[in-house]
A and B are shown apart, each in its own frame.
Chain A
Amino acid sequence: MSGRTVELEVLRYDPDQDDAPKFQTYTVPYREDWVVLDAINYVKDELDRTLSYRWSCHMAVCGSCGMLINGEPSLSCHTFLRDCPDKIRIEPLQNFPVERDLVVVMDDFIDKLGSVKPYVVAKEEKDVDEGEYLQTPAELAQYKQYTACINCLLCYSACPQYALNDSFVGPAALALAHRYNLDSRDIGRSAREEVVASNPGIWECSFVGACSEVCPKAVDPAAAIQQTKIASTADYFMKFLMPWKHK
């Protein structure tokens, strides 16, 4: 093709035929307004129908298109060709088993999200007729940042502790627990502690901070975990010093 081009080096894996993943190179046109996802879609539409990958919204809200782009966990819809070199290496997210091509097995992540009780545990359950649980804007501001997670898995991909020990509950799940712990309508902090304050919970984290650096939504899971460590430590010592206060 004429005009400027970009070379995509994509890690392919066919579980029916391959023993191990292998790189395959595609040449795609360069467009000023294209993101990596557009280039991958071009490959699928025009060059190689067999390429498998996840995507949906194309606007960084669904969290489907996470992959390694030149080694960095990124959303392919959020990474512009104009910000990349002419050779782009594309691989499935690190730290997850590869199902096929760029599709990873997410089951562990989904289980962990569920394990932190990601719902409001209210003081008293209200009937719908009794009205809503009220909350001021200031109370909302306390936890709003941690609601922004789109479950894109980039943080798990960046986290070396998750790489070294996959029983680690992980950044997104712990940030989600924090979102509910900070919610004024919620009293579930002690119920969540069994998972959150366990050894594979917050204590596996060594504050590398890579998770927060790659997060496309500025959730800052690293901050969530450190704040939880402080709260859990305070809780722990309160239990010894003032056992009558602990619920």
Chain B
Amino acid sequence: MNQSNKPIVWGLFAAGGTVSAFLVPALILVTCLAVPLGLLPADTLSYQHLIDLLQHVISKLITFGVLFLIIWHAAHRMRITAHDLGIRNDTVVMLICYGVAAAGSLLMLLALLKI
């Protein structure tokens, strides 16, 4: 039995899971629910407000770091779930799950570099 490379993906999974646990509920509240419910002013998610917020390097780094960890957490868990639901071809599942996470991360990187 060879040494597994799982520590890398599991490390990301654990870090992302912790970040998700602490941040996602509040994130959903702020980004999806607060404005329709009238709890936050309508321009919180406006184009100019977000562009201004994301000008600082720190904001970009934090945004990238947080979303990167969360998407990798979700990707790894989905890979495991596919196995749990009887899908045996782990290589294909792995490529799809991590592929989507990689694509999203790249998209995000390009977006943040441009903003």
Contacts and interface: CB of A to CB of B under 8 A. Distances in A.
Do A's and B's CB atoms come within 8 Å in the complex? yes
Interface string B2-19: 111011101100100000
A162 to B, nearest CB: 13
Contacts of B7: 197, 232-233, 235-237
A197 B10 contact: no
Interface in B53-95: 80, 83-84, 86
B84 A206 contact: yes
Contacts of A206: 80, 84
Interface residues of A, number: 19
B40 to A, nearest CB: 36
B11 to A, nearest CB: 5
30 contacts: A160-B84, A164-B83, A164-B84, A164-B86, A193-B3, A194-B1, A194-B3, A195-B1, A197-B4, A197-B7, A198-B1, A198-B2, A198-B3, A198-B4, A199-B1, A199-B4, A199-B6, A201-B4, A203-B4, A203-B6, A203-B10, A206-B80, A229-B10, A233-B7, A233-B10, A233-B11, A236-B7, A236-B11, A237-B7, A237-B11
Contacts, number: 40
Contacts of A194: 1, 3
Q: How large is the interface on B (under 10, 10 to 19, 20 to 34, 35 or more residues)?
A: 10 to 19
A200 interface: yes
A200 B83 CA distance: 14
A237 B1 CA distance: 20
Interface string A229-247: 1101101110000000000
Contacts of B4: 197-199, 201, 203
Nearest to A115: B1
Contacts of A160: 84
A197 B1 CA distance: 9
Contacts of B3: 193-194, 197-198
A197 B3 CA distance: 7
Interface in A161-200: 164, 193-195, 197-200
Contacts of A203: 4, 6, 10
9 closest residue pairs by CB, A with B: A236-B7, A198-B1, A203-B6, A233-B7, A199-B4, A233-B11, A206-B80, A203-B4, A198-B4
